[in-house]
Structure 1
């Protein structure tokens, strides 16, 4: 199977920085992928996403197959042309959304039948159909195997059954993917929070020969400490020469601690979702601009972030826009948050290359912990 060249440029402990080379451009790692669920990173123009520093974005199989339909996207030139994003794009398989959103889900050994959360219409997703949608119709640079997600917590027996099904679907996904130029496929490790199952799943996925390895079953309510433990029990079983991707993570502290454990890629809806709810992420931690304490605060959201949204609008103005219900508020905040997450990743990459990542990790952990102790103001 085709794989993208992955060159590791520098290391500090388990942390590493490098470049994943695709036909549509280089992806600097560690990389945070803004989520473009329905062919859009919510509230942003694609040129804003690019200017914020993103090398790659994520598209969503489940949502696009339901609306406007993957075949329609193909007729319109594929997801890159349809959305206006010319850089690399990763699509998820749809498995997580089937688990979290769909109605009347029926799982069997060959795939899953479900009803749309939009209109109740019935759909069938199999490993082959997921690959067809991602690679053929949407035109993803990186596709993900179809896997089954489990609830958290779940029993050892249920986690074992699920990971065995996901391994089988991984093989079928590889078979459907075949040999493709300019595209690759990542496998997904499951196993909940059980060490023996994470090892079993990791070894199984690695043996199948994917172009990259993802850790699934995280960001499902397990909490930061358990997430870190799960990464710790999984990474030792992964190859050094392939990118490692933790799916659905997460908060800035999650990113820093995951990088410290050897993870290369991330995605999360947090930057834009927080922006829609009046929250800005900054180098001093998150701030809720709905709070009255910002009504006359003339300082920018975060002057240390090189983005117009971060530097050119006062916190007082954002507070006003939020209270007035103006659309501009989530647009500015989503833009700023996206830029902040990219700035964080850029600083992490630079710190690793200069052998000061552990100092940065300690500094940010202390800085963000200090903000938690401040009394909340309404």
Structure 2
């Protein structure tokens, strides 16, 4: 992948894991990379300067939500999403497809596109592939996605129909895309079915997108199926192009997906659980509302160097949550994002130093059984 300010370079391999750089018009993304989710054009509670200080190199924003409020055309008039949200680093936008297809009872899909009612006021809207591209061009993100249909992962008959739509829509998205300062990714679908995933990967690879997203995983299927499909994708997607696993964000999943050649990730999990009083630590989670921490002078994690752990105790954070102080959510989100970024840095360093399998084993031994995925709505 190399054109118009984009270049993907693999600098080290260890087994199927790879470390590299994805250069974009708004900066360099070291890979593997975790992107925090800024659904409404903001990572909840965290300003962009804190994201930069924590080490974020990519932020995700949501096309569906920004299209509804404040509107993609308004954002374009105000200089694009980077200027609008005060973030000068790379941005990725999804197509809005996942959110639209989550609107059970509020949307109707046909071969040309999808008609849906806003979850805000019930107003009627329609996305075609061309519209999804136009909205994302107005937003101005660096990495943008084709409109796809995300079907139930275990329904073979529906996946067959959805795959045909996804492929036709990918062709139309590619034809509609005009901005050369954006990289458009095709999205591989097909549920847990190897024949459909193989068909999807081969079809999209033939269209020669600059990158490929793997959609429709961690949406309720067993973990063994997730990893089986990722192994298949590793064998089918081009080595020289970046691979993005959509909506996945547990530490165990990072390692297992990287072991199967994945480069980019996003998930709402670390920011969402922080707002409910849960802090991520090596080996599990802490519920900071727990009475056991009422007089605990220790930081969340005594090995952590984030701003929260350098200054505040578990007792203080518990107090903030218990009195409803908004700063509790901010401080815990800072810690959780720091934890995710440092983990990804350690994972990347293990690849660079040729000790990825040892790191993988250590993670498997230290962390609890893989939890079910978090819903990805921001």
Q: Which bin holds the TM-score, normalised by the shorter protein?
A: over 0.9
Q: Would you identify which runs of 4 or more consecutive aligned residues in structure 1 move more than 6 Å?
A: none
Inter-CA distance 80–346: structure 2 relative to 1 (3 Å threshold): same
Tell me the residue number matched to 1:375.
none
Tell me the residue number matched to 1:138.
139
Equivalences for 1:110-189 in 2 at 5 Å? 110-135=112-137, 137-154=138-155, 156-178=156-178, 180-189=179-188
Tell me the residue number matched to 1:38.
40
Tell me the residue number matched to 1:87.
89
* Rounded Cα–Cα distance in structure 1 between residues aligned with 2:176 and 2:259: 35
* Rounded Cα–Cα distance in structure 2 between residues aligned with 1:242 and 1:258: 16
Cα distance, 1:339 vs structure 2: 1.0
- 2:101 pairs, out of 99, 122, 128, with 99
Inter-CA distance 37–315: structure 2 relative to 1 (3 Å threshold): same
* Rounded Cα–Cα distance in structure 1 between residues aligned with 2:8 and 2:335: 30
Residue segments in structure 2 that go unaligned for 5+ positions in a row: 372-378
SS in 2 for 1:318: helix
Residue segments in structure 1 that go unaligned for 5+ positions in a row: 373-378
Cα distance, 1:288 vs structure 2: 1.3
* Rounded Cα–Cα distance in structure 2 between residues aligned with 1:83 and 1:174: 27
Give me the TM-score of the superposition, normalised by structure 2.
Answer: 0.94
* Rounded Cα–Cα distance in structure 2 between residues aligned with 1:371 and 1:62: 30
* Rounded Cα–Cα distance in structure 2 between residues aligned with 1:265 and 1:326: 34
8 Å CA contact 1:38, 1:59 repeated in 2 = yes
Tell me the residue number matched to 2:374.
none
Deviations 1:76-119 (A, max 9, x none): 11111010000010100000000113652111111100000011
* Rounded Cα–Cα distance in structure 2 between residues aligned with 1:118 and 1:288: 32
* Rounded Cα–Cα distance in structure 2 between residues aligned with 1:220 and 1:313: 36
Inter-CA distance 69–356: structure 2 relative to 1 (3 Å threshold): same
* Rounded Cα–Cα distance in structure 2 between residues aligned with 1:170 and 1:370: 36
Tell me the residue number matched to 1:319.
318
Cα distance, 1:152 vs structure 2: 3.6
Cα distance, 1:335 vs structure 2: 1.1
Tell me the residue number matched to 2:24.
22
8 Å CA contact 1:103, 1:116 repeated in 2 = no
Deviations 1:289-343 (A, max 9, x none): 1222222221111233332023321111111111111111111111111111111
RMSD: 1.6
* Rounded Cα–Cα distance in structure 1 between residues aligned with 2:44 and 2:104: 21
Tell me the residue number matched to 1:307.
306
SS in 2 for 1:322: helix
* Rounded Cα–Cα distance in structure 2 between residues aligned with 1:371 and 1:300: 25
Cα distance, 1:153 vs structure 2: 2.8
